[in-house]
């Protein structure tokens, strides 16, 4: 034992010093959607700032499929050493586990930081002759109004169902491959409504009627909040964040948290995000972890309310 114990101590000290020097090699960041997608482009805005601070390249690995669950399932089984991270959105992490049989849940990941949170809005075609949410509600009460968006279970789908329920109306939902495809249908006159992040709505050339947020957005200062027009205080947004597999060492997580805080506070990062039409929103590890757990529970309740989860 007297020969064994010093050897064990040396191993422990070596391991501690290795983590103190983290990172010593490139870091793989899995994005569970294809290149050019919202999560992918959102991480690539953060990537150069993080690489400067960490002193190592962050290599993006795109693994798309099944609402991000293919990549997220793969990521949950990755080694817990800090060299395998993931940049994932709200839907993949907090709604899809309630809708599909997947190998992960809210205990599978360590939230590191949130970087972007885009409030959603209710939008129509600029040629629809609808200028207010009340006018849209009147049209729905007088006849059939269709809404479009990504497949059922997505945040746009849940958001439009919540809006319909809040105003005691019905929207006939028409699934599309994504928000861009739904926007084309609206501009073409096949669909009436899209609930999506306001930045995306503006990029699509649609007209936002209200923001599902408590404050107006700098990108759309003339668009009222749903509170301002007398609606129920609905709060829906699409957010993105950096995660590690559960069990990753604390000192590694803390270093990544600090790097993310510094990276998202730079003027170059904030300018790039705002230019893209997105909304920068930093949450540190402690706040993001609490927020993530609550979102996981809340979205389970929402999915039950719209009839997608028993």
Same domain, 171 and 183: yes
Tell me how far apart the alpha carbons of residues 243 and 283 are, in angstroms, rounded to a whole number. Answer: 12
Of 165, 196, 211, the residue that ends a domain is: 211
Same domain, 126 and 71: no
Residue 228 lies in a domain: no
Domain that holds residue 205: 119-211
Q: CATH code at 183?
A: 3.40.190.10
pLDDT of residue 16: 42
pLDDT of residue 3: 45
Give mean pLDDT, residues 37-62: 96
- Kindly report, residue by residue over 87-120, the tens digit of the pLDDT: 999 999 999 999 999 999 999 999 999 999 999 9
Of 211, 245, 279, the residue that ends a domain is: 211
**SS3 labels along the chain:** CCCHHHHHHHHHHHHHHHHHCCCCCCEEEEECCCCCCHHHHHHHHHHHHHHHHHCCCEEEEECCCHHHHHHHHHHHCCCCCCCEEEEEEHHHHHHHHHHCCCCCCCCCEEEEEEEEEEEEEEEECCCCCCCCHHHHHHHHHHCCCEEEECCCCCHHHHHHHHHHHHCCCCCEEEECCCHHHHHHHHHCCCCCEEEEEHHHHHHHCCEEEEECCCCCECCECCCCECCCCCCCCCCCEEEEEEEEECCCCHHHHHHHHHHHHHHHHCHHHHHHHHHCCCCEEEECHHHHHHHHHHHHHHHHHHHHHCCCCC
Same domain, 128 and 93: no
Same domain, 258 and 300: yes
Same domain, 135 and 196: yes
Same domain, 51 and 104: yes
Q: Which of 207, 95, 192, 213 is nearest to 151 (CA)?
A: 95
Residue 166 dihedral angles phi and psi, to the nearest 5°: -65, -30
Tell me how far apart the alpha carbons of residues 9 and 156 are, in angstroms, rounded to a whole number. Answer: 54
Residue 124 lies in a domain: yes
Residue 218 lies in a domain: no
Same domain, 94 and 148: no
**pLDDT-wise least confident of 78-87, 181-190, 293-302:** 293-302
Q: Tell which wins on pLDDT, 1 or 239.
A: 239
For 22, 99, 136, 233, the CA distances from 163, given in Å and listed in that order, are 46, 21, 11, 10
Residue 142 lies in a domain: yes
**pLDDT-wise least confident of 5-9, 41-45, 143-147:** 5-9
Tell me how far apart the alpha carbons of residues 175 and 157 are, in angstroms, rounded to a whole number. Answer: 8
> Are 103 and 77 contacting, i.e. CB atoms less than 8 angstroms apart?
yes
pLDDT of 4 above 50: no
Same domain, 163 and 190: yes
Give mean pLDDT, residues 21-30: 97
pLDDT of 188 above 50: yes
Residue 138 lies in a domain: yes
Tokens of 111: 């939230």
Residue 102 lies in a domain: yes
Q: CATH code at 111?
A: 3.40.190.150
pLDDT of 190 above 70: yes
Kindly report the average pLDDT of the chain as a whole number: 91
For 4, 8, 219, 278, 305, the CA distances from 239, given in Å and listed in that order, are 50, 44, 17, 10, 21
- Kindly report, residue by residue over 136-181, the tens digit of the pLDDT: 999 999 999 999 998 888 889 989 998 998 999 999 999 998 888 9
**pLDDT-wise least confident of 11-15, 66-70, 109-113:** 11-15
Residue 43 lies in a domain: yes
Looking at the structure of the chain, the number of domains it has is: 2
Exposure string for 21-48, b = 16+ CB within 10 A, e = fewer: ebbeeebbbbbbbeeebbbbebbbbbbe
Burial of 11 (0-12, 13-18, 19+ CB in 10 A): exposed
pLDDT of 14 above 60: no
- Kindly report, residue by residue over 197-212, the tens digit of the pLDDT: 998 999 899 999 999 9
Same domain, 81 and 129: no
pLDDT of residue 37: 85
Give mean pLDDT, residues 2-31: 63
pLDDT of 6 above 80: no
Same domain, 141 and 10: no
Of 170, 196, 211, the residue that ends a domain is: 211
pLDDT of residue 17: 40
pLDDT of 263 above 80: yes
Same domain, 93 and 126: no
Residue 291 lies in a domain: yes
Same domain, 105 and 125: no
Enumerate residues 6+ apart whose C-beta is below 8 A from 202.
208, 219, 220, 277
């Amino acid at each position: 034992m007297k020969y064994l114990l010093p050897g064990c101590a040396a191993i422990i000290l070596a391991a501690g010093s290795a983590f103190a020097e983290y990172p010593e090699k490139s870091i793989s960041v899995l994005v569970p959607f294809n290149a050019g997608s919202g999560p992918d482009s959102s991480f690539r805005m953060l990537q150069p700032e993080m690489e400067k601070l960490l002193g190592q390249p962050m290599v993006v690995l795109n693994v798309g499929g099944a609402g991000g669950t293919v990549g997220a399932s793969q990521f949950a089984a990755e080694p817990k050493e800090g060299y395998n991270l993931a940049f994932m959105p709200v839907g993949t992490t907090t709604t899809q586990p309630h809708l599909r049989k997947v190998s992960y849940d809210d205990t599978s990941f360590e939230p590191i930081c949130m970087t972007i949170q885009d409030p959603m809005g209710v939008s129509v075609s600029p040629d629809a002759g609808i200028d207010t949410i009340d006018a849209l509600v009147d049209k729905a009460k007088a006849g059939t109004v269709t809404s479009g968006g990504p497949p059922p279970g997505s945040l746009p789908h849940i958001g439009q169902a919540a809006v319909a329920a809040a105003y005691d109306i019905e929207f006939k939902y028409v699934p599309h491959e994504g928000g861009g495809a739904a926007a084309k249908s609206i501009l073409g006159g096949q669909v009436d409504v899209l609930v999506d992040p306001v930045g995306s709505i503006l990029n699509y050339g649609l007209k936002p009627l209200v923001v599902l947020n408590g404050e107006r957005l700098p990108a759309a200062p003339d668009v009222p909040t749903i509170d301002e027009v007398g609606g129920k205080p609905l709060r829906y947004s699409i957010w993105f964040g950096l995660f590690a597999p559960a069990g990753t060492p604390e000192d590694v997580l803390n270093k990544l948290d600090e790097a993310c805080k510094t990276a998202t506070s730079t003027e170059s990062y904030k300018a790039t995000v705002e230019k893209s039409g997105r909304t920068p929103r930093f949450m540190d590890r402690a706040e993001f972890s609490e927020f993530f757990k609550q979102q996981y529970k809340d979205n389970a309740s929402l999915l039950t309310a719209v009839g997608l989860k028993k």
